[in-house]
Amino acid sequence: MRLLYIDIDTLRADHLGCYGYHRDSSPNIDRIAAQGVRFDACYASDVPCLPSRTAFFCGRFGTRTGVVGHGGSAADPIIDGPTRGFFSSFGKTSFPALLRKLGLRTATVSSFAERHSAYHYLAGFQDATTVGKRGLENADEVYELAAEWLERRGREPDWFLHVHLWDPHTPYRAPAAFGDPFAAAPLPAWLDERVRAGHARGGGPHSALEAVGFSDAYPWGDYPRQPRAIDSMAQVRRMFDGYDAGVRYADHYVGRLLELLETLGVADETAILVSADHGENLGELNIYCDHHTADEPTARLPAILRWPGLPSRVDRGLHYQIDLAATLLELLGGKPADNWDGRSFAPALREGRDDGRPALVITQGAWTCQRSVRWGQLLYLHTLHDGYHDFPEDMLFDLGTDPHQQHDLAAAQPARVAEARGLLQRWHDEVMAHTPGGHDPLQTVLAEGGPSHVRGQLPAYLERLRATGRAAFAERLIARHGYEK
């Protein structure tokens, strides 16, 4: 069996046509969705980048692997310790390692390991290729390397190829020659001037007046599609157009990959998964152009599977992305390793029925320390460290009526908050019982000074807040955090 995984970094599900987006951002992905299964409620167990891909490729929650952040101790897996054999647990039980046991040639075209010094991710891959730009490459550069591999091995009967496109990730940077495909397209209606102006009075990294971090200075260089501050509706358009152009550019090369499979004569016998590591906040919770939270825009993933013999449909069950990995293994004739948290729902998928989990718990430890509970139409966010956004400890949103999380219901619905806290506690107790040392790595993040992306940033940021007319927000942060030393 051939399996192509097109992994599009930072891709929001609701910015694809097949998920209902009003802009024509994804004609090729939409074509795959029309031929396959579209998962409507698939979520990363851990966000953002490093925790999510570690979880997917090893089938385990970040709380159990130890990887819940981007820096500090919680960016590296917990070592196996005295139980380690000649091969590590990653080497024996990763998703690619299990595929190899089934006889598939495993390959990745991705700069992910280099970008995050996450070389555990490579466990089980026989072929690993990188553009070498640590995630600042464009889809055309990735496609060239993926095409070379496919032209060499694509006609072989059994392989898994992971192709990682970065284009929707900040900085928004679709090539100038790609033009402006959305210049005349309407903006998402929810982010109007009233919402934008309210956000401009608030703060936090990647808030309206700091859309590229803790200031309005570019940390990467000059990228014309990337706004520095969302200080007008023109900049709101620049953000949406820039992000969506990245989606459309990646989609173009999805189409090129499909064409190449046709040319090789293997399109009908190749399974295709299109998904992502996480999404992107594009104004939700006053976070612009990044992924700081365990919420809907960041944690919900597009997940589209075209599998020979499976009919086209929409699956509305609640799934982790690690459940999807477990399901792929079973569809291929294997099974998850005993240490996996991912659960296969392959029988239900074959039968055309939904078999999701009753609730999901999502962990974020890179920009904030949060855990969320996603169940029914509701999302509960529990904040341990607010990443200098001044989030309350508890937030509750009805995603059915409020998909952009504008109305916090926590104070008005204490029974629902209590229900979510109970779900979170039960999950935590179960996972801790099977976590090495019984220690929660999110507590490690807190003990080491908070999320790695915000450590040491508060004093200078307080001065910026005061200088930009937001002294009241600065005082709220001082009351909550004091001064960092």
3-state secondary structure of 283: coil
- Express each pLDDT in 255-266 by its tens digit: 999 999 999 999
Q: How far is CA 297 from the centre of its chain?
A: 9
Q: Does pLDDT of 482 surpass 90? A: no
Residues with Cβ within 8 Å of residue 450, at least 6 apart in sequence = 369, 385, 387
Kind of pairing, strands 105-109 and 159-165? Answer: parallel
Q: How far apart are CA 387 and CA 293, in angstroms?
A: 9
Mean pLDDT of 365-380: 98
- pLDDT, the chain, mean: 97
First-to-last C-alpha distance (Å) of the chain: 56
Task: Tell me the one-letter amino acid at 49.
Answer: C
* Of 374, 347, 379, 361, residue with least CA distance to 442: 361
Mean pLDDT of 18-40: 98
**pLDDT tier, 221 (very low <50, low <70, confident <90, very high otherwise):** confident
Instruction: Note if the bond before 171 is cis, omega within 30 degrees.
Output: yes
- Express each pLDDT in 138-183 by its tens digit: 999 999 999 999 999 999 999 999 999 999 999 999 999 999 999 9
Query: Is 330 in contact with 3 (CB distance < 8 Å)?
Result: no
**pLDDT tier, 222 (very low <50, low <70, confident <90, very high otherwise):** confident
Mean pLDDT of 3-17: 98
The domains located in the chain, with CATH, are: 2-355 (3.40.720.10)
In the β-sheet with 2-8, what is the strand arrangement from edge to edge?
127-129, 105-109, 159-165, 2-8, 270-275, 300-306, 37-43, 313-320
- Express each pLDDT in 281-340 by its tens digit: 999 999 999 999 999 999 999 999 999 999 999 999 999 999 999 999 999 999 999 999
**pLDDT tier, 199 (very low <50, low <70, confident <90, very high otherwise):** very high
Other CB atoms within 10 Å distance of the CB of residue 313: 13
- Express each pLDDT in 81-129 by its tens digit: 998 999 999 999 999 999 999 999 999 999 999 999 999 999 999 999 9
pLDDT at 485: 45
Least confident of 34-43, 80-89, 337-346: 80-89
User: String of b and e for 138-175 (b: at least 16 CB within 10 Å)?
Assistant: bbebbbebbbebbeeebeeeebbbbbbbbbbbbbbbbe
Q: Does pLDDT of 62 surpass 90? A: yes
Q: How far apart are CA 71 and CA 162, in angstroms?
A: 25
Residues facing 270 on adjacent strands: 2
Task: Tell me the one-letter amino acid at 63.
Answer: T
Helix (H) or strand (E) segment spanning residue 449? none
Helices 321-331 and 49-58, packing angle to 10 deg: 30
Residue 21, both tokens? 């987006």
Q: How far apart are CA 458 and CA 456, in angstroms?
A: 6
Q: How far is CA 267 from the centre of its chain?
A: 27
Kind of pairing, strands 281-282 and 288-290? Answer: antiparallel
Q: How far apart are CA 198 and CA 138, in angstroms?
A: 34
Residue 206: φ, ψ to 5°: 65, 25
